[in-house]
Structure 1
Amino acid sequence: MQSQLELRHLKTLLALAECGSVSQAAKRVFLTQSALSHQLKALEEAYGLALFERKTQPLRFTPAGERLLALARDVAARVMQAERDLARLREGEAGELRIAVECHTCFDWLMPAMDAFRQHWPAVELDIVSGFHADPVGLLLTRRADLAICSEAEPQDGVVYQPLFAYEMVLIMAKDHPLAAKPVWQAGDFADETLIHYPVPDVMLDLVRKVLKPAGVNPARRTSELTVAIIQLVASRRGVAAMPFWAVKPYLDRGYIASARIGDAGLQSELYAALRQDDAGLAYMHDFLHTVREQSFATLPGLSVLA
């Protein structure tokens, strides 16, 4: 009997598992939501079984869907390994990948991705350019780095940007803060607060750049280099902060702090990988970006696809 399954079906199932919704999965595999829904419906009709439970958030697979998802993970891993082997035959196994970052919370997802990448490309020299860099793209152009993690894709000659993912920034505050029960904060709610943030320029703070500055709100400030220090200051009512949801979720789950959405639609931030145009075709560079996305969507809560 000829199988109904195609590689595109397996990719769709993986995207559904990683993104948790049909709309986000459609973006991940570059389809419209309608086209992806039609693909799933056709697959379910072919097998006479539902693959996931509708109207659940995040999406939940049925036993039939879980079985195909397991197959998808196995096949995807084998395909990627075969393609790596072919790339090594074509380009060689060695190379250098020095990474510069501008975000203090990048290491939460960057280190696991680097560990997975080392298993794929053991002969590629992988390193992080020491220190925090306000202009990591500048390090590319002076060849002091080979890849830069940045929050904006500003056009520059000789540099290409690859989207990694988007995520929500949430407000965190002490559990006994007077506004702890308020689910959504607007710009004006920050006026009488002390805003705690990393010691970076305002242009690199999405809360200031996208929310407070347009509203003419300029609260008192306090800075700290360490994420855990910011969380401790917030918990002890020294101020409030805006942090990625995935970075503070463990503290929220333990009831250490409280959180709120920033603005009715939430405050969305983005991360991109910048690399030199003449390096964009390198197989190990492409694989590193794939590994970052795969690891991040699999382990960090609340990510969304960045077009």
Structure 2
Amino acid sequence: MIERHHLAILKHIDELGSMTAASQAMNLTQSALSHTVRKFEEQIGTPLWQRTGRRMELTQAGHYLLAVAKRLLPQLEHADQVVRDMARGEKGQLRIGMECYPCYQWLLSIVTPYLRQWPEVDVDVKQKFQFGGMAALYSYDIDILVTPDPLDKAGVRFVPVFDYEQVLVISDQSALTKRDWIRPEDLQQQTLLAYPVDRERLDVYSQFLTPAQCLPARHKSVEDTDIMLQLVAADRGVCALPKWLVQQVQRTLPLQWRPLGQDGIHKQIHLGFREGEDGLDYVDAFLQLALTDPSMMTEKPAIVT
């Protein structure tokens, strides 16, 4: 029978590179670990490693069980943590991953009341998963994914929480203020400021410039939203951001916005959950706050459950 510690051995050896290192990490002697591996191979009737010269390489069965270990062990570790938290009278952890650079300010409007309502839940926001959030969700590194680009994948449920329009942000001094809406060719003489991600993941390229076979005069990566807006306000470039964000900063910066194309680019922010966990009360509570955030009521979508 395949047991949890068998999968843990495979995963440790793969991550650490040797049985010696794995035995130390698991607080076992190397001989005890080797004995456990041999006994397990006898039970399943096939070797997990084969020697190639001086190297030990996984067999086909070994590769298969390693993939199982990488999929199941994080789930079991997460379940252990949730149950331990419940046993201590705590609700658990809520780790939120961001796949949306400009959504941080929106997220704060949700997290602030959530922390007051759920003091027993430990909340953490992780921004390192830019456009890699699905893998983080599957590997249990995060519990909720905030993204404008949901993927139809088994085991994950996405809920739209608000609609928004992606617009071009320009300085009050820009010649583009004369336009009612922006054409792709209008950007051919502009410096386009954008977040440091692949261009095909940027809506201004995928839905606007690339179909028209147009490129800006210059593309400049800027990671921080505030710096990006300051550069635009100084007429050192233009950028594409959600209209709601631009409307918030227009009170303090000399900025305007124009639709990208006559019909504009319309998007939705979604929250992604692993199926089954969106039934946890503290997870559901976060979703309900997101759906009723008053700062976004003017751009709310019709929610289909």
Aligned mate of 2:227, from 218, 229, 240:
229
Aligned mate of 2:145, from 132, 135, 148:
148
TM-superposed deviation, 1:254: 4.5
Q: Which amino acid aligns with 1:303?
A: E
TM-superposed deviation, 1:210: 0.9
TM-superposed deviation, 1:130: 4.7
Contact 1:174/1:234 (8 A) holds in 2? yes
- What residue ranges of structure 2 are gaps of 5+ in the alignment? 1-88
CA RMSD between the two structures: 2.0
Encode CA deviations 1:209-247: one digit per residue, 9 max, x unaligned: 111111111212011111111111112222111111121
Contact 2:169/2:255 (8 A) holds in 1? yes
Is 1:305 the counterpart of 2:301? The answer is yes
| Mapping 1:74-113, distance limit 5 Å | 94-113=91-110
Is 1:182 the counterpart of 2:182? The answer is no
Is 1:168 the counterpart of 2:165? The answer is yes
| Count of residue correspondences | 215
Distance 1:98 1:171 in 2: 32
Distance 1:118 1:254, change over 3 A: closer
1:74 corresponding residue in structure 2:
none
TM-superposed deviation, 1:278: 2.3
- What residue ranges of structure 1 are gaps of 5+ in the alignment? 1-91
TM-superposed deviation, 1:93: 5.6
Contact 1:166/1:306 (8 A) holds in 2? no
User: Which structure would you say has the larger Rg?
Assistant: 2
Contact 2:129/2:136 (8 A) holds in 1? no
- Between stretches 127-136 and 234-243, larger displacement belongs to 127-136
Distance 1:277 1:167, change over 3 A: same
Distance 1:306 1:171 in 2: 25
Distance 1:130 1:209, change over 3 A: closer
Encode CA deviations 1:173-217: one digit per residue, 9 max, x unaligned: 121212212121122211221111111122331111111111111
Distance 2:302 2:240 in 1: 20
| Mapping 1:50-129, distance limit 5 Å | 94-129=91-126
Distance 1:190 1:217 in 2: 8
Distance 1:147 1:251, change over 3 A: closer
Q: Which amino acid aligns with 2:203?
A: D
Distance 1:301 1:200, change over 3 A: farther
Distance 1:130 1:213 in 2: 28
Matched-pair identity in %? 28
Distance 1:185 1:229, change over 3 A: same
1:194 corresponding residue in structure 2:
191
Structure number with greater CO (CA < 8 Å, separation at least 6) is 1
Distance 1:306 1:267, change over 3 A: farther
> What's the TM-score, normalizing by structure 1?
0.65
1:140 is paired with a residue whose SS is helix
1:242 corresponding residue in structure 2:
240
Distance 1:193 1:300, change over 3 A: same
TM-superposed deviation, 1:131: 2.6
